[in-house]
Amino acid sequence: MATPIKRAFRTPLAFAALVMISIVALLAIFGPIIWGAQASEVNISNMLAPPSWEHWAGTDALGRDLFTRVLVATRLTVLLTLEATAIGVSGGILFGCGPFLLGPRFGKAVTWFIGIAVAFPGLLLALFFAIIFGAGASSAALALGLASAPSFARLCQTLVAGILARDYVGAAQISGSGRFRILIRHILPNIGEPLIVNATIGAGSVLLSFAGLSFLGLGVQAPAYDWGRLLMECLRSIYVHPIASVTPGVAVVLAGLAFNLTGESLAHALGITSLGDLGLRAKIRSLRHDPSITLDTDEPTQDAIVCVRDLHVGFPAGLDIVEPVRGVSFDIFAGEAVGLVGESGCGKSLTALAVAQLLEEPAQVWAHSLIFHGTELLDCGNDNKETTKARNHLLGTSMAMIFQDPMTSLNPTRRVGEQLAELGRVHGGLNHRQARLRAIERLGAVRITNPERRARQYPYEFSGGMRQRAMIGVGVMLTPKLIIADEPTTALDVIVQEQILDLLGAIRREDGAALLLISHDVSVVREVCSRILVMYAGRIIEELPSADLDQARHPYTRLLVAAVPNMTTDITQPLPTIPGRPPEPGPIVGCSFSPRCPLADDRCRSTDPDLITNGNTRVACWHAGQPLVQIAEVVE
């Protein structure tokens, strides 16, 4: 816990928050001791004096120095704030965790009650309790505390419910832990951080609300004073002395901000922190034109639908760039199905998104050439409105994308039919009616029954498999030359997967579209594609016809094929395994697979092998085709 907090206060804003909250704390402790007497010194001869060297903020209606009064009032203000916050948080924890301890029936009642209470603003609840308890400092603290309890209770409930859904709670239950033990050992430690963060932010708003109540005369009563009370007293003399009336207000805002910012900084630190750098773009531009980047390729192939040469994808990381895709070259010919396989994090999805021109900043894409359907897509430098428009039209009509998760890839607020028809109107030159009819026809073509009714429905009314069909329907709304499918069946069941793959095959045969199928599952790719590209650590390390997959020459490909059991795997032998993990994107010396490779020697570890073309295959390995020694199970 110490590290993220340390990290939190490294940003200037968080540092400022820390300084502010420390000042507030110091004033609260020492303010009344140092200035207590001075602040209550009445001087009738110097009433409502304007700011001067002696009285920085002037004096009040009894001639007392306003600035020291503001400093002294810090203690009462902070104490009351903490009191109210403590009441709110304890009430919140009690009602938020209570249902878990007391069982579902009582829990339901509490949840219902909290649900109604949180619908009302805290200020309204505070006024409600203020009527009951009357005006006064402690009753205002009680009122504000009770008023903030429901939102803390809701927060606790949400947090607890989140933890309860976790399997480790299930595991603890199975091993015989009681509810109380689970609460202490698993729930409280895991909700502590967000609770503290929210209590800090909550204290900020309690402080502001308390100032409001005191300002209205419902909080602290004379002769005691907090900032709100001072504000109220100053408002009476605002016509004589406008500056003085603002001084306590400044204190209120600064202290409120101090709590808020401290909480926000904590929240930020416990989440994600990363800041890009502005100098990077220049660096990437220079990389693009770096002649020393070697090309492993000949000239672009003429009759390919897609022709990629030395494609790179980079992301800024601190002052440097990491390159998850490091020089990828391949062709896809008309009507061909090509598979791209590899473990997660090898750069296959990024490659696909780069080809589809769907990567946005901060990702940077550069390549020797990236040609789709005869058009260079990375024509940086001579971009203008016309060419951009023409390129978008080309991509819109001729390239289709299908993504992994059909549950999130369709817009939940728009009818499925509209989502297809839109493409027909924007790029297909169809009018509303034509586009609608075409959309219905296409939904039928992707084997959705009753397409007319389905077109009017929203995605949430579709099952996962149907949504993926609808996504394919979007893809074939016009006549694509290339369909890029990124893990299109990973989220689906086996039988549905088979149907979707089948459908993709049929669509492809009808329209003559090429397919780039990205998958981690070798068996899926092998079934659908005629040619396979294997990626590892941002490079293509082997290319081969899928029929030859069992005779793969790269040890990674062979291990990848063997490590996944299929219906013909020898069940008497242990599965071959690939120890370790793929490398993180970053500088790599030697062959990127060498740390995990059973064949690795010194040359592999020092020099990266080139991707050598041999007929219709390519492979990048110093030991291509050598037999693998069976690797012993390695202790991780």
Partner 1 sequence: MTTEVLAPSRAVISNRWVRFAFRRLGRLIVSVWVVVTAAFAIIHLIPGDPVRAAMGMTVSPEIVEARRELLGLNLPLWEQYLRFWRGLFTGDLGTSIMTGLPVGDIIGYQLPATLSLALPAFLVAIGLAIPLGVTMAVITRNGRARRTELGFVGTSVVMGTIPDFIYGIIFIALFGVSLHWLPVAGRRGFTSYILPVVALAIAPILVLARIVRVEVLAVLRTDYVRTARAKRLANWQIYTKHALPNAITATLTLAGMLLATMCISTVFVENIFAWPGLGQTIVGAITSKDYPVAQAIILIYALAVIIINTVVDLVLAIIDPRSTVSEG
Partner 2 sequence: MSELTFHDVSVHFGTSRHRLIAVDHVNLTVGSAGILGLVGESGSGKSTLARAAVGLAPITTGTITLGGKPVPMKGKNRPLAMIFQDPSASLDPRMSVGDSIWEAGRGAHGGEDKQSTITHLLSLVHLDPKHAKSYPGQLSGGQRQRVAIARALAGKPQVIIADEITSSLDVSSQGAILNLVRELVDELALTMLFISHNLAVVRYVSTRFAVMYSGRIVEEGETSAIIDTPSHEYTRQLLAAIPGGSS
Alpha helices in 313-431 (DSSP H): 348-355, 385-398, 406-409, 416-426
What string marks each residue from 466 to 505 as x (binds partner 2 by CB under 8 A) or -?
---------------------------xxxxxx--x----
Q: How many residues bind partner 2 (CB under 8 A)?
A: 51
Distance, in Å, from the CA atom of 308 to the CA atom of 550, rounded to the nearest integer, reads 27
DSSP state of 612: E
The label of the residue with tokens 């308890």 reads 133
Half-sphere exposure of 169 (CA within 13 A, CB side): 18
Residue among 286 and 572 whose Cβ is closer to partner 2: 572
Spatial CB neighbours of 289, under 8 Å, sequence gap ≥ 6 = none
Chain positions 262 to 321 lying near partner 1, rule: CB under 8 A, are: 264, 276, 278
The tokens describing 633, both together, are 């199970």
- Count of CB atoms within 10 A of residue 242's CB? 11
Q: Least distance to partner 1 from the beta carbon of 560, Å? A: 27
Residue among 501 and 518 whose Cβ is closer to partner 2: 501
Q: Least distance to partner 1 from the beta carbon of 621, Å? A: 35
Distance, in Å, from the CA atom of 505 to the CA atom of 509, rounded to the nearest integer, reads 6
Among 19, 132, 390, 632, binds partner 1 (CB under 8 A): 132
- Count of CB atoms within 10 A of residue 15's CB? 13
Stretch that binds partner 1, among 329-337, 414-422, 528-536, 612-620 (CB under 8 A): 414-422
Which helix or strand (DSSP H or E) is residue 482 part of?
strand 482-486
Residue among 160 and 207 whose Cβ is closer to partner 1: 207
Among 4, 51, 396, 595, binds partner 1 (CB under 8 A): 396
Q: Least distance to partner 1 from the beta carbon of 592, Å? A: 28
Contact call for residues 549 and 522 (beta carbons, < 8 A)? yes
Alpha helices in 135-272 (DSSP H): 137-164, 167-174, 179-182, 188-216, 227-236, 242-270
Distance, in Å, from the CA atom of 444 to the CA atom of 198, rounded to the nearest integer, reads 51
Does residue 358 belong to the site contacting partner 1 (CB under 8 A)? yes
Q: Least distance to partner 2 from the beta carbon of 559, Å? A: 8
Q: Taking CB within 5 to 8 Å according to partner kind, which of partner 2, partner 1, none is near residue 171?
A: partner 2
Residue among 340 and 559 whose Cβ is closer to partner 2: 559
Q: How many residues bind partner 1 (CB under 8 A)?
A: 77
Does residue 177 belong to the site contacting partner 2 (CB under 8 A)? yes
In the three-class reduction of DSSP (H, G, I as helix; E, B as strand; rest coil), residue 323 is classed as strand
What backbone torsions phi and psi does residue 290 show, to the nearest 5 degrees? -75, 115
Stretch that binds partner 2, among 135-143, 150-158, 305-313, 569-577 (CB under 8 A): 569-577
Among 563, 584, 612, 614, binds partner 2 (CB under 8 A): 563
What string marks each residue from 188 to 227 as x (binds partner 2 by CB under 8 A) or -?
-xx-------------------------------------
Q: Taking CB within 5 to 8 Å according to partner kind, which of partner 1, partner 2, none is near residue 42?
A: none
Residue among 143 and 191 whose Cβ is closer to partner 1: 143
Stretch that binds partner 2, among 256-264, 397-405, 533-541, 557-565 (CB under 8 A): 557-565
Does residue 569 belong to the site contacting partner 2 (CB under 8 A)? yes
Among 274, 286, 344, 413, binds partner 2 (CB under 8 A): 344
Does residue 560 belong to the site contacting partner 2 (CB under 8 A)? yes
Spatial CB neighbours of 302, under 8 Å, sequence gap ≥ 6 = none
Does residue 575 belong to the site contacting partner 2 (CB under 8 A)? yes
Distance, in Å, from the CA atom of 311 to the CA atom of 352, rounded to the nearest integer, reads 11
Residue among 127 and 284 whose Cβ is closer to partner 1: 127
Chain positions 135 to 174 lying near partner 1, rule: CB under 8 A, are: 135
- Measuring CA to CA, how many Å separate 585 from each of 323, 356, 398? 6, 22, 32
Among 133, 428, 577, 595, binds partner 2 (CB under 8 A): 577
In the three-class reduction of DSSP (H, G, I as helix; E, B as strand; rest coil), residue 192 is classed as helix
- Distance from the Cα of residue 168 to its chain's centroid: 24
In the three-class reduction of DSSP (H, G, I as helix; E, B as strand; rest coil), residue 376 is classed as strand
What backbone torsions phi and psi does residue 355 show, to the nearest 5 degrees? -60, -40
Does residue 633 belong to the site contacting partner 2 (CB under 8 A)? yes
The tokens describing 70, both together, are 């503001």
Q: Taking CB within 5 to 8 Å according to partner kind, which of partner 2, partner 1, none is near residue 541?
A: none
Does residue 458 belong to the site contacting partner 1 (CB under 8 A)? yes
- Measuring CA to CA, how many Å separate 326 from each of 308, 320, 421, 556? 13, 15, 38, 18
Residue among 453 and 605 whose Cβ is closer to partner 1: 453
Q: Taking CB within 5 to 8 Å according to partner kind, which of partner 1, partner 2, none is near residue 298?
A: none
Q: How many residues does the chain have?
A: 636
Does residue 581 belong to the site contacting partner 2 (CB under 8 A)? yes
DSSP state of 183: I
Among 57, 257, 311, 445, binds partner 1 (CB under 8 A): 257
Q: Taking CB within 5 to 8 Å according to partner kind, which of partner 1, partner 2, none is near residue 177?
A: partner 2
Spatial CB neighbours of 165, under 8 Å, sequence gap ≥ 6 = none
Spatial CB neighbours of 326, under 8 Å, sequence gap ≥ 6 = 312, 347, 537, 538, 539
Among 110, 169, 183, 253, binds partner 1 (CB under 8 A): 253
The tokens describing 604, both together, are 């592999």
Distance, in Å, from the CA atom of 224 to the CA atom of 246, rounded to the nearest integer, reads 20
Q: Which parts of this chain interact with partner 2 (CB under 8 A)? A: 166-168, 170-177, 185-186, 189-190, 343-344, 493-498, 501, 520-521, 523-524, 526-527, 559-560, 563-569, 571, 574-581, 633, 635-636
